[in-house]
Amino acid sequence: MRRTAISLILLVIFLTIFIVGWAQQQPKTLLSSAAPMTTLIIGSDNQSLKNEATKLAAKFAEKIDGKTLLAAKKEGRNSTAFATMRSQLQEFKADNTEIAFVYTFEQLNGTNRFVVTLYDNPDSPKFMQVYDDAPIELKLPLKEPIGVGPYTDHWGTFVSGFAPVNTGSNETIMVLGVDIRVQ
């Protein structure tokens, strides 16, 4: 009986070691449907993570109605346009568990200002708040999707994708941002 218990314990230890080793060898993909990931660890595949963030931002930016986003900016937080944009951003985030934040901002005269965000805490950026510690890549008007990072701002350390939203207007550039938290 004692010999059977020892054999069973050894079998469990062996299987645990085998499963852990096997799991570590499995490829990890950014767009998986696995359990939510709140933090990714930066490794040698940093460029791959930036590419994925860029692809997500570009994909989401294409789905945004630029005229509704401009209306949200003009009409403010209590408008139907703002609620529509916020709902759409929530859908984007819900379908991609690796995303920490998704938001829109305008670039106008060298300044980035948040328009619609999904930050939901007291420290969240406010409507039309200046994004003072934006990545340096956002100092110039964005013409095409880009990936940046890792960088650290007021809200944490991220690899992010940014893509311009087609608004039909050249007066202001509206951008969609996707943040993936890293450590």
Predicted local distance difference test score (pLDDT) of residue 32: 35
pLDDT in tens, 27-67: 433 333 333 333 444 454 679 999 999 999 999 999 999 99
Predicted local distance difference test score (pLDDT) of residue 17: 60
Cβ atoms within 10 A of the Cβ of 44, count?
6
Predicted local distance difference test score (pLDDT) of residue 46: 79
Of 161, 24, 36, the closest CA to residue 95 belongs to 36
Pick 84 or 123 by higher pLDDT.
84
3 state SS for 26-95: CCCCCCCCCCCCCCECCCCCHHHHHHHHHHHHHHHHHHCCHHHHHHHHHHCCCCHHHHHHHHHHHHHHHC
Predicted local distance difference test score (pLDDT) of residue 168: 86
Pick 11 or 111 by higher pLDDT.
111
Intra-chain end-to-end CA distance of the chain, in Å: 49
Of 137, 183, 132, the closest CA to residue 161 belongs to 137
Cβ-Cβ contacts under 8 Å for 165 (sequence gap 6 or more): 61, 64, 66, 69, 104, 174, 175, 176
| In the chain, domain spans | 46-181
Pick 169 or 35 by higher pLDDT.
169
pLDDT in tens, 102-156: 999 999 988 999 999 987 677 788 899 999 989 999 999 999 999 999 999 888 8
Residue whose token pair is 């852990």: 20
Q: Is 50 exceeded by the pLDDT of residue 94?
A: yes
Structure tokens at 71: 């209306």
Look at domain 46-181 and name its CATH class: alpha beta
Asked if the bond preceding 150 is cis, omega within 30° of 0, the reply is yes
Q: How far apart are CA 126 and CA 119, in angstroms?
A: 9
Task: State the pairing for strand pair 173-181/156-165.
Answer: antiparallel
Predicted local distance difference test score (pLDDT) of residue 110: 87
Per-residue pLDDT band at 5 (split at 50, 70, 90): low
Put simply, whether the predicted model's pTM sits higher than 0.85 gets the answer no
